[in-house]
Amino acid sequence: MLALWMDTERMQTFVQEMVRKGIIHHPERPKTNLRDFLEKEVTLDQDEISEISNHFNELRSDVIQYLNQVTPWTWKTFSAGSYYDGTKVSRPNEMDCQLIPRLRDSVTPIYERCEPGHCRLKVKYKTNDPIHTLCDEGCINMDRFRSYFFDKMEKFQSQRRIKKDLTYPQSPSYRVIYTTTQELPNIEIDFVAALHVDKWPDFPFANNLKEKLSSDLPREIDPEEIMREGSVTVMKHCKADVPDKALQWKMSFTYAEKSLSKHADKKSWKPIIRIIKRAKEIAKGDTDVTKTNVTKQLRKAAKYTKENLFPDSDGKLGVGTYPIRMLMWTLMYDKNLGLGNTSWQDRDTLDMLHVCLRCFRLMLTGKLQILNLFMPQMGDIMRTVRLKDRHFMYVMTLVIDILFSEAE
C-alpha cells in the first residue's frame, strides 16, 4: 500500500492552535501525568475484578454444562481478549469467551480458493456425527452452524439472569448482558462458537512464527509451542461476494494473540498499549467521567477537533483496537520491525510512549506498513480504515504527545 497524502503540517498547526488557546498544555512533570493517568484511568479495581470474575466463571460453567447436555458434542472454553491478557482498561465488564465443540469426525481446513484469512472446513465422514447435517458438499456451513448454536443459546439465556444484546444482530458472536449486583456494572459477554484446527496453517496462509518473530523474546514465549496449539475458525463472513461465502470460515489466532500480549514486557509495553487504548476510548467519547486533568484536556481536544475539522462526521471517529494491538505486537516481536524484549525492558516508559506514538502516526499515513503478524495474505492492517478516521487519530496522537511531554 502506498503512503496516503495527508496534510500532516496542517494537523500539527491545528494542534499548536489548541495549545495557544489553552485547550491542551504541556505538563511541568510529564512522568507525574503518566503515573496519574495510569493509576486513575487505566488500572482496574482488583476487588471489582475478583467479584466480576466470580460471576463470569459461574455463568461460563453453566453454559458449558448446558451445551454438553443439549448437543451431541463435548464443549470446552477458551477465554480470550484484553481481560485475560492483561491489557484491559477502565472497567472489567467486557469479556470474550470462545466455546469450542469436540466433533466426533475430524475436520480438515482447505485454504486454497478461499479469500485471504478464510478457509473451508471439510469433515471426514467416519461416523454419524450430527455435524454432517450442517454441511454443504462435505464442508461445514457457518450459517447453519450459527443458527444451530444461537438456537441453543436462546433457550439457555431465557432461563438465566441474562439477556441477549441486540445491538449487532449480524454479529458472529452471541452477545449477552449479565446482570450482576447493584454495586457492580453489568457484564457484556461475547460467546463465540469456534471450531479448532489442530495444525498451524502453512505459509503463505499463516506465518511460521519461528521465522517471523525476533529471537529476543520473553522467556515465556515459545513460537513452536504456540504453533502446536493450532488455531480456530469463527463464524465471520468474508467481505467478498463469492458463492460459497457461508462455507468460508474466518481464521483466528486467539491463543497466539493471548500469549504475545500476556507475556509482553510489563515495564513499558503493557502500560503503553493500555494508555493508548484508554486515550482512544476517551477521544471517541466512550466515557463521560473525568478522573484526571489529562482526561479533561483529551476530551476537550477531541470535541474541538470534531467541531472544526469534521463538522459533518458520523459521530464517533477513530480506529479500532485491533490495528493498535497489531502495531504494538509488531514493535515488540517482529524480527525486522520489532525492538526486541531487551530494548523494551531497558528503555524509559515515557520515551517508549513517544516512540510508539510516532510509529502510530507513520502507520496512519501509510509510511509504515504494518502487516498482519499471523496472516500475511491479509496485507496492511489499515487497508479498510477510513481516511477521516486516520486524520482524527493523527491529531489525537499529537495531542497525547503534548499531554505527556514538557514544552520545548
78: left (phi over 0), alpha (psi -120 to 50) or beta: beta
The whole-number pLDDT of residue 4 equals: 66
Question: Structure pTM?
Answer: 0.93
Q: pLDDT 10s digit of each residue in the chain, 408 long?
A: 445 678 999 999 999 999 999 999 999 999 999 999 999 888 877 777 788 888 888 889 999 999 999 999 999 998 877 777 778 877 667 888 999 999 999 999 999 999 999 999 999 988 889 999 999 999 999 999 999 999 999 988 766 667 787 677 778 899 988 877 667 778 888 999 999 999 999 999 999 999 999 999 999 999 999 999 999 999 999 999 999 999 999 999 999 999 999 999 999 999 999 999 999 989 988 665 667 999 999 999 999 999 999 988 776 788 999 999 999 999 999 999 999 999 999 999 999 999 999 999 999 999 999 999 999 999 999 999 999 999 999 999 999 999 999 987
Tell me how far CA of residue 43 lies from CA of 37, 189, 334, in angstroms: 9, 21, 27
The whole-number pLDDT of residue 79 equals: 81
Q: How far apart are the first and last CA of the chain?
A: 35
Give the C-alpha separation, 329 to 265, whole Å: 11
Give the C-alpha separation, 268 to 350, whole Å: 8
Bridge pairing between strands 107-110 and 231-234: unpaired
CB 246 within 8 A of CB 142: yes
Bridge pairing between strands 118-123 and 107-110: antiparallel
The whole-number pLDDT of residue 288 equals: 57
CB 256 within 8 A of CB 68: no
The whole-number pLDDT of residue 1 equals: 47
Bridge pairing between strands 162-164 and 118-123: unpaired
The whole-number pLDDT of residue 289 equals: 64
User: Angle at Cα 49 formed by Cα 318 and Cα 330, nearest 5°?
Assistant: 40
DSSP string, 95-160: EEEEEEEE-SS-EEEE-TTS-TTEEEEEEP-SS--GGGGGEETTEE-HHHHHHHHHHHHHHHHTTT
Give the C-alpha separation, 343 to 352, whole Å: 10
